């Protein structure tokens, strides 16, 4: 980087339409100097483009079709879970939730995740919200000839509210499972 950019370098960057902040950062010079040169040259003040890509456009940039109708995510990911993310308007959104919205026109209830077997698939047809997953998995249970869900679990939790069904159609109480997992973590921490 140059220690101090020349007037010609700054003018060239201004004529490309860059902001004073970007020019100051790129050319390692004072922002006030960039503004003075801009004003002396009679160039317009930089205005951020109003044509920012939409959330849908950003999703389409990073969702790539693979085999069997799956879609792989090539964009940003969560550092903890490796979940596909989209940065949009100063926040992060789940790429799966955007895929769900594209298919249904509504925001997901609960988490939106692919129920196709491919981890982190973002194909809109494969992404279900909590309500759709439950309905689909309840139908699987009935097709397998399993009993309807009980009214309550052994601990007394209402299963209409607390029951979950895994991909194989096996029902479990989400509250009881969460309690067991919390207890197991506490036991490991105490040991």
C-alpha of 91 from chain center: 9
Residue 13's contacts (CB-CB under 8 Å, 6 or more residues apart) are 22, 23, 26, 27
Residue 157's contacts (CB-CB under 8 Å, 6 or more residues apart) are 173, 175, 176
Q: Where are the domains of the chain?
A: 1-51, 55-128, 133-190
Inter-residue contact 97 to 107 (CB < 8 Å):
yes
Distance between start and end Cα atoms, the chain: 54
What are the pLDDT tens digits along the chain (191 aa)?
445 789 999 998 888 888 899 899 889 899 999 999 999 998 888 877 655 678 898 899 999 999 889 999 999 999 888 999 998 877 889 999 999 999 999 999 999 999 898 999 999 999 999 999 989 999 989 999 998 888 999 999 999 889 888 888 889 999 999 999 999 999 988 87
**pTM given for the model:** 0.64
Give the H or E element holding residue 93: strand 91-94
CA dihedral for 68, 74, 75, 77, sign (positive or negative):
positive
Structure-block tokens of residue 155: 């601990």
Inter-residue contact 115 to 167 (CB < 8 Å):
yes
């Amino acid at each position: 980087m140059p220690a101090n950019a020349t007037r010609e370098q700054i003018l060239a960057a201004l004529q490309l339409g860059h902001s004073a902040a970007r020019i100051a950062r790129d050319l390692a010079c004072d922002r006030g100097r960039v503004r003075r040169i801009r004003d002396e040259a009679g160039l317009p003040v930089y205005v951020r483009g109003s044509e920012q890509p939409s959330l849908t456009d950003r999703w389409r940039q990073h969702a790539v079709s693979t085999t069997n109708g799956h879609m792989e995510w090539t964009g940003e990911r969560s550092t903890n879970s490796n979940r596909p993310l989209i940065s949009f308007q100063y926040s992060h959104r789940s790429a799966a939730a955007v895929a769900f919205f594209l298919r249904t026109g509504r925001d997901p209830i609960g988490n939106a995740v692919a129920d196709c077997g491919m981890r982190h698939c973002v194909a809109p047809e494969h992404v279900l919200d909590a309500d759709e997953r439950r309905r689909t998995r309840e139908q699987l249970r009935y097709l397998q000839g399993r009993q309807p869900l009980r009214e309550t679990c052994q601990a007394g939790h209402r299963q209409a509210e607390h029951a979950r069904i895994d991909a194989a159609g096996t029902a479990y109480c989400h509250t009881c499972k969460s309690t067991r997992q919390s207890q197991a973590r506490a036991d490991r921490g105490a040991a």
